[in-house]
Amino acid sequence: MSSRPPLTILLASPRGFCAGVDRAIQIVERAIAKYGAPVYVRHEIVHNRHVVDRLKALGAVFVEELDECPPDRPVVFSAHGVPKSVPADAKARKMLFLDATCPLVSKVHVEAGRHFDAGREIVLIGHAGHPEVVGTMGQLPDGAVALIETVEDARAFQPRDAGNVAFVTQTTLSVDDTADIVAALRARFPEIAAPHKEDICYATTNRQDAVKAIAARSQVLLVLGSANSSNSVRLAEVGQRSGARSYLIDDAGSLDMAWVDGATIVGVTAGASAPEVLVQGVIDKLGASFDVTVEEIDTARETVTFKLPRAVA
């Protein structure tokens, strides 16, 4: 008999890397393999400290702006997308650049462009300052896109022509929060043009659904992910709403064991930019103090893959 108290870990599936993150990381790795180090990356390739640190060790140099990059070295644009001015600037400087923008973010860029060409006033539902929002708004001239963050913003928004409005969204939002904002917009603008297919990406939706499934049965939910990762922060919020005390942690070292005192069921998941090794680290740490049973709760199967750019395929 084990002297350790029993603990069931409900492991959310799907969790961790999505196809867009996987592709972005591969682009950096292959660029280093092909062109040698250093390869420059504008902004964090994905929002995860462990991923960034591992790529730094391989020879990636992370910068905020293009003018920090020497013109004779390759530069990779992050998975979140960039304003149109950035590749234009890189071309003008004759730089070799690789665009790791997630194809699902690129889809939102294309949608916004179509609405603009059709003369519609565009609303972007998203979080101010997030690189994806900066990139999407930067696809069009200043003032062409209005950012809406809350239901209150949706109620206060005053378009020039209420009959000619369209909305797009950041891909990593809370599905439930976004539905409330969209409902507020539709109530005011019944003719509002919507995306053909929801902009919130399949991976964000699937991971939130998986969290709802495990959080309803868990006393505590542990979400692996960095604090600047939008989709990871949303997972912790969804877990909290679903009734579990929820904590966003970088890795096992950030896990305070006092949080799980007295718990018999703990849910574990990871944001779309968090590597699986971090999940295993948390399971191992819990296993050192508890007699652990791991139960994987599978709510969706993901088979999406994205092609690499020709330059590194």
Q: How many CA atoms lie within 13 A of 251 on its CB side?
A: 10
Strand ranges for 25-114 from DSSP E: 39-42, 60-63, 75-77, 97-99
The mean pLDDT of the chain is 97
Class of domain 105-199: alpha beta
Domains 6-17+202-298 and 105-199 belong to one CATH topology: yes
List the catalytic residues: 132
Structure tokens at 124: 């972007």
The answer for 35, left when phi > 0, alpha when psi is -120 to 50, beta otherwise, is alpha
Rg of the chain on CA atoms, in Å: 21
Which region holds residue 184: left if phi is over 0, alpha if psi is between -120 and 50, else beta?
A: alpha
pLDDT tens per residue across span 47-98: 999 999 999 999 999 999 999 999 999 999 999 999 999 999 999 999 999 9
> Domain 19-99 belongs to what architecture?
3-Layer(aba) Sandwich (3.40)
Element (H, E) at 7: strand 6-13
**Does the domain spanning 6-17+202-298 belong to CATH 3.40.1010.20?**
yes
Cis before 275? omega within 30: no
Report residue 197's pLDDT band, with 50, 70 and 90 as the boundaries. Answer: confident
What residue segments make up the domains of the chain, in order of their start?
6-17+202-298, 19-99, 105-199
Name the band, by pLDDT with cuts 50, 70 and 90, for residue 3: confident
pLDDT tens for 222-241 read: 999 999 999 999 999 999 99
